């Protein structure tokens, strides 16, 4: 047996004890490493195309003229849409949309060419499925780029027929052209947009629930918290030793996925890498302390995990990646503000695609720091309360009336 | 048959008797029904703030700015002297676009030249970019058409013909099924399916791992219910619970949130039967693999989000690699999200979701079969402590 004096209490004792504990639980270890990495790999595969191109649409050509054929060619030639099928009547096209085979139906009316040249302004109708909002909008983008291009040729001939010089007529076609610059994301790549945001969301769930689990086990077992504190030789070394092994694992997961994103998939890293790392560290710590706090407040551990899941798994919507927070109601805006992920993603967007100047970068990072300090403080406070209560009971102080009755 | 009924009754009772199961299935369902839709309830983005950098300062440039501000998409909240200062405001997320009107904007228009304007739109948020770019482009086009008509009349074109000239072939875009382009209408029908899917999966996983999962513990019948009766009885119990929860999610909630629904109730319920049964089968398999309620909770909590992107709902199936898509069909949510949205939101006839319907029945038989095999093996006494079965149990046990 080891002499008592040879075991030196302190941070490293608790740290290595936790590492050992984690090593003997392959499933938990897999949950905090392989599960998020595997999900990341899956999502990378799903979005591997980067841009959604050549989305199938149907065409109903009732005119069969040179004009209608050239419109169809142009629609097929845009990057967004592909004419995958010709239908004979409207009902058939509708059926194709309902069965999910196409995302839209372009209808070219009878006598289109004749009416255009007679100045009767015939209507070209595009029916598109906006139930799938993004996809529907992409098909519309393709069609609404192609049809005016076809119309431009006609407009030009109308002017030259009036004796206007070609170059002047050309300028006339679009008196106020808009040069649109997509700031920060010139290719409008979907991968930048979603992939970079989904992993932190998944990781947020994993970090909160895994921390609740690992601490919950200690809370549920009698005397374990006291032993832990004694092993750590104080409150803070014990907390640090308990939390840090996971922090290191999560940092590795985050860094590994980031090196895939920036290194292999070549996502832009316009900002400062070190700021991104600081934000990542604060994000991880605040999620961990949130999980720890839940485990200290809620018993049994299953409840702590349930509440953690309940708070974090719908978080993606509240963090404003799909639908921006700007458009949310007050409740959703407020709830988004108390999620660490919201601020981490803000900092992440700042430091990856936006390249925000340093002086404007600090707000989300300071908010995350405030979360870390606040949550760690609450954890310490809760532990002190629990300890005081245990000490009171151990000292044999008569319990208060309320405690005695419960 | 009697055995099936015994298992069924017992399992149904456990759903309400076991606190963790009850809180996931009933409390969780109620919570998500209220909580989840919150971010999307405003449906559309309105009045996205942008800044104007007016280098011209003429009545024409002010007219343009006024019209941009008048759209429902955009609000001009700042007028700034130069692009550099405007860019800082974009970085600070005060504005999401900069409309730059160059010097001589009005003069060029009056001279009959093209008079370009520049829009810098924040593309780090996709939806904001779409709003700003779409709004400004529409205003510029309308204003341009007016100018063009005036010019044509000026060079002697007949006014009737001149007003047709800017747009000789009108493109009328008809959005179907979600005419407002609302975000809630887009996300919620699919999300509700996924919530039902995840909640039932966790609940079945918990029921299979919490004490009392073995029906022989509850009955004095001799012999106790066999493996087949156990699986069927349990699945029927889950079907009965979902007979209450699912209609609330797929019929009552869309109605309360004002989501359009074109499909009838009956087809939805017809598709719901294999949906619920296939998840039940998958849940029983998950329970047999993970063996501890905590691990079921942990693992299933994290994996819900990616399922959404596999369903061809937010990201088109056509561009998902075929192998990934095929593999994703093993998860009931993939077929279910696609099938239910087409039935309910698009009003497709049941025949159009034949593929999804058969796929869900196929998964029911597949997972039910695996669950049955695992149940048979579990009951063989000599295998009880077999290495393979014990490994995961040990690895996730709750104490040292």
Q: Please list every residue in chain B whose beta carbon sits closer than 8 Å to the beta carbon of residue A271.
A: none
Residue A126: strand, helix, or coil: strand
Q: Please list every residue in chain A whose beta carbon sits closer than 8 Å to the beta carbon of residue B352.
A: 95, 98-100
Closest C-alpha among B125, B74, B48, B85 to residue A360:
B85
Question: ∠ CA B349-B263-B353 to the nearest 5 degrees?
Answer: 35
Structure tokens at A314: 């719908």
Q: What is the mean pLDDT of chain B?
A: 86
Predicted local distance difference test score (pLDDT) of residue A5: 53
CATH architecture designation of domain B48-164: 3-Layer(aba) Sandwich (3.40)
Predicted local distance difference test score (pLDDT) of residue B221: 61
Lowest mean pLDDT among A315-319, A401-405, B67-71, B307-311: A401-405
A167 CB contacts (<8 Å, ≥6 apart)? none
What number is the average pLDDT over the span B331-344?
Answer: 91
Query: Alpha-carbon distance B132 to A307, whole Å?
Result: 38
Structure tokens at A364: 């989300």
User: Is residue A252 a contact partner of residue A173, using CB atoms and an 8 Å limit?
Assistant: no
Looking at the complex, report in whole angstroms how far the Cα of residue B279 sits from the nearest Cα belonging to chain A.
19
Is the per-residue pLDDT at B313 higher than 90?
no
Predicted local distance difference test score (pLDDT) of residue B384: 47
Structure tokens at B336: 């279910």
* pLDDT tens-place string over residues B284-312: 999 998 888 888 888 888 888 888 888 87
Interchain proximity A155–B168, CB inside 8 Å: yes
φ, ψ of residue A125 in degrees (nearest 5): -110, 130
**Is residue B400 very low, low, confident or very high in pLDDT (cuts 50, 70, 90)?**
very low
Is the per-residue pLDDT at A87 higher than 70?
yes
Predicted local distance difference test score (pLDDT) of residue B293: 87
Predicted local distance difference test score (pLDDT) of residue A332: 93
Interchain proximity A25–B161, CB inside 8 Å: no
* pLDDT tens-place string over residues A99-142: 888 999 999 999 888 888 877 888 889 999 888 888 888 888 88
User: Is residue B269 a contact partner of residue B243, using CB atoms and an 8 Å limit?
Assistant: no
Looking at the complex, report in whole angstroms how far the Cα of residue B183 sits from the nearest Cα belonging to chain A.
7
- H or E segment to which residue A58 belongs: strand A55-61
More confident residue, A169 or B12: B12
**Is residue B356 very low, low, confident or very high in pLDDT (cuts 50, 70, 90)?**
very high
B209 touches chain A (CB under 8 A): no
Predicted local distance difference test score (pLDDT) of residue B248: 93
B258 CB contacts (<8 Å, ≥6 apart)? none
* pLDDT tens-place string over residues A170-211: 767 778 888 888 888 777 776 667 777 888 898 999 999 999
Maximum distance among all Cα pairs of chain A, rounded to whole angstroms: 107
Query: Alpha-carbon distance A61 to A106, whole Å?
Result: 8
Looking at the complex, report in whole angstroms how far the Cα of residue B61 sits from the nearest Cα belonging to chain A.
11
Strands A178-183 and A123-129: unpaired
Q: What is the CATH code for A55-173?
A: 3.40.1710.10
Q: Please list every residue in chain A whose beta carbon sits closer than 8 Å to the beta carbon of residue B111.
A: none
Predicted local distance difference test score (pLDDT) of residue B391: 41
Q: What percent of chain B has pLDDT over 90?
A: 40
**Is residue B395 very low, low, confident or very high in pLDDT (cuts 50, 70, 90)?**
very low
Select from B165, B205, B301, B321 the residue whose CB has the most chain A CBs within 10 Å, as the one to mutate to test that interface: B301
Predicted local distance difference test score (pLDDT) of residue B383: 47
Interchain proximity B39–A179, CB inside 8 Å: no
Query: Alpha-carbon distance A267 to A185, whole Å?
Result: 10
Is the per-residue pLDDT at B380 higher than 70?
yes
End-to-end CA distance of chain B: 44
Is the per-residue pLDDT at A3 higher than 60?
no
**Is residue B200 very low, low, confident or very high in pLDDT (cuts 50, 70, 90)?**
very high
Query: Alpha-carbon distance B206 to B297, whole Å?
Result: 8
B322 touches chain A (CB under 8 A): no
Computed from CA positions of residues A200, A205, A210, A215, in that sequence, does the dihedral angle turn out positive or negative?
positive
Would you tell me which residues 63-82 of chain B have a C-beta closer than 8 angstroms to some C-beta of chain A?
64
Rg over CA atoms, chain B: 30
Q: Please list every residue in chain B whose beta carbon sits closer than 8 Å to the beta carbon of residue A31.
A: 295, 298-299, 302
**Is residue A233 very low, low, confident or very high in pLDDT (cuts 50, 70, 90)?**
confident
* pLDDT tens-place string over residues B33-73: 999 999 998 888 889 999 999 988 898 899 999 999 999 88
Interchain proximity B171–A144, CB inside 8 Å: yes
Three-state SS across chain B?
Answer: CHHHHHHHHHHHHHHHHCHHHHHHHHHHHHHHHHHCCHHHCCCCCCCEEEEEEECCCCHHHHHHHHHHHHCCCEEEEEECCCHHHHHHHHHCCCCCEEEEECCCHHHHHHCCCCCCEEEEEECCCHHHHHHHHHHHHHHHHHHHHHHHHHHHHHCCCCHHHHHHCCCCCEEEEEEECCCCCCHHHHHHHHHHHHHHHHHHHHHHHHHHHCCCCCHHHCCCCCCCCCHHHHHHHHHHHHHHHHHHHHHHHHHHHHHHCCCCCCCCHHHHHHHHHHHHHHHHHHHHHHHHHHCCHHHHHHHHHHCHHHHHHHCCCCCCHHHCCHHHHHHHCCCHHHHHHHHHHHHHHCCCCHHHHHHHHHHHHHHHHHHHHHHHHHHHHHHCHHHCCCHHHHHHHHHCCCCC
Where are the alpha helices (H) located in A110-223, listed in sequence order? 112-117, 133-161, 166-173, 190-220
Is the per-residue pLDDT at A372 higher than 90?
yes
Domain locations in chain B? 2-40+182-395, 48-164
Structure tokens at B355: 């593929």
Predicted local distance difference test score (pLDDT) of residue A297: 92
Question: ∠ CA B377-B199-B281 to the nearest 5 degrees?
Answer: 30
């Amino acid at each position: 047996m080891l002499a008592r004096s040879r075991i030196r209490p302190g941070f490293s004792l608790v740290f290595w004890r936790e590492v050992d504990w984690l090593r003997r639980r392959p499933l938990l270890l897999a949950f905090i490493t392989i599960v998020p990495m595997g999900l990341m790999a899956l999502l990378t595969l799903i979005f591997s195309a980067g841009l959604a191109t050549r989305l199938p649409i149907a065409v109903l050509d009732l005119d069969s003229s040179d004009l209608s054929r050239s419109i169809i060619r142009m629609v097929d030639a845009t990057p967004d849409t592909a004419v995958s099928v010709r239908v004979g009547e409207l009902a058939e096209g509708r059926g194709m949309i309902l069965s999910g085979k196409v995302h839209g139906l372009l209808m070219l009316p009878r006598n289109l060419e004749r009416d255009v040249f007679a100045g009767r302004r015939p209507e070209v109708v595009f029916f598109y499925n906006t139930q799938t909002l993004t996809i529907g909008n992409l098909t519309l983008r393709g069609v609404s780029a192609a049809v005016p291009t076809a119309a431009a040729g006609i407009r030009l001939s109308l002017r030259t027929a009036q004796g206007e010089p070609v170059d002047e007529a050309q300028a006339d076609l679009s008196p106020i052209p808009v040069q649109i610059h997509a700031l920060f994301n010139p290719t409008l790549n979907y991968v930048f947009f979603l992939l970079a945001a989904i992993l932190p969301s998944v990781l947020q769930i994993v970090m909160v629930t895994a921390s609740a689990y690992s601490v919950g086990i200690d809370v549920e077992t009698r005397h374990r918290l006291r032993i832990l504190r004694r092993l750590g030789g104080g409150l803070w070394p014990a907390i640090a030793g308990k939390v840090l092994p996971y922090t290191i694992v999560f940092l590795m997961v985050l860094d590994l996925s980031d090196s895939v994103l920036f290194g292999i998939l070549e996502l832009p890293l316009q900002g400062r890498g070190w700021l991104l790392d600081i934000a990542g560290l604060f994000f991880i710590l605040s999620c961990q302390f949130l999980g720890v706090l839940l485990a200290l407040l809620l018993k049994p551990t299953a409840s702590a995990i349930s509440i953690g899941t309940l708070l974090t798994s719908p978080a993606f919507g509240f963090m404003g990646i799909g639908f921006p927070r700007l458009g949310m109601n007050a409740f959703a805006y407020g709830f988004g503000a108390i999620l660490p992920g919201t601020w981490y993603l803000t900092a992440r967007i700042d430091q990856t695609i936006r390249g925000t100047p340093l002086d404007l970068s600090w707000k989300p990072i300071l908010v995350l720091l405030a979360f870390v300090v606040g949550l760690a403080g609450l954890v310490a406070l809760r532990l002190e309360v629990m300890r005081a209560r245990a000490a009171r009971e151990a000292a044999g102080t008569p319990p208060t009336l309320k405690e005695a009755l419960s | 048959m009697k055995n099936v009924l015994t298992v069924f009754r017992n399992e149904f009772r456990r759903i309400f008797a076991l606190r963790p199961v009850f809180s996931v299935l009933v409390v969780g369902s109620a919570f998500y029904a209220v909580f989840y839709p919150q971010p999307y309830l405003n449906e559309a983005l309105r009045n996205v703030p942008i800044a104007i950098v007016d280098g011209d300062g003429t009545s024409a440039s002010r007219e343009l700015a006024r019209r941009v501000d008048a759209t429902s998409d955009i609000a001009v909240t700042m007028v700034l002297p130069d692009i550099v200062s405007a860019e800082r405001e974009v970085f600070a997320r005060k504005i999401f676009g900069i409309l730059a009107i160059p010097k001589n904007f009005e003069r060029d228009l009056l001279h009959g030249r093209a008079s370009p304007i520049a829009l810098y739109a924040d593309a780090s948020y996709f939806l904001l970019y779409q709003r700003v770019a779409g709004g400004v482009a529409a205003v510029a086009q309308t204003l341009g058409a007016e100018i063009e008509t005036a010019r044509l009349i000026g060079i002697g074109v007949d006014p009737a013909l001149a007003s047709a000239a800017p747009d000789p072939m009108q493109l009328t875009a008809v959005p179907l099924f979600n005419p407002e382009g609302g975000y809630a209408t887009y996300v919620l029908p699919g999300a509700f399916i996924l919530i039902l899917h995840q909640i039932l999966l966790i609940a079945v996983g918990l029921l299979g791992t919490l004490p009392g999962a073995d029906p022989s513990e509850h009955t004095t019948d001799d012999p106790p219910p066999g493996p087949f009766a156990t699986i069927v009885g349990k699945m029927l119990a889950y079907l009965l619970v979902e007979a209450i929860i699912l209609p609330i999610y797929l019929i009552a909630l869309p109605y309360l949130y004002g989501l359009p629904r074109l499909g009838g109730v009956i087809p939805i319920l017809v598709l719901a039967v294999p949906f619920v049964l296939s998840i039940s089968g998958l849940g029983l398999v998950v329970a047999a693999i993970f063996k501890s309620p905590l691990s079921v909770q942990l693992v299933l909590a994290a994996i819900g989000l990616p399922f959404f992107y596999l369903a061809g709902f937010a990201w088109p199936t056509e561009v998902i690699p075929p192998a990934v898509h095929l593999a994703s069909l093993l998860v009931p949510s993939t077929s279910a999200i696609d099938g239910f949205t087409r039935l309910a939101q698009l009003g497709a006839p049941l025949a159009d979701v034949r593929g999804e319907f058969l796929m869900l029945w196929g998964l029911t038989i597949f997972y039910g079969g695996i669950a049955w095999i695992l149940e048979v093996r579990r009951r063989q006494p000599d295998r009880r402590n077999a290495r393979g079965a014990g490994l995961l149990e040990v690895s996730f046990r709750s104490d040292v």
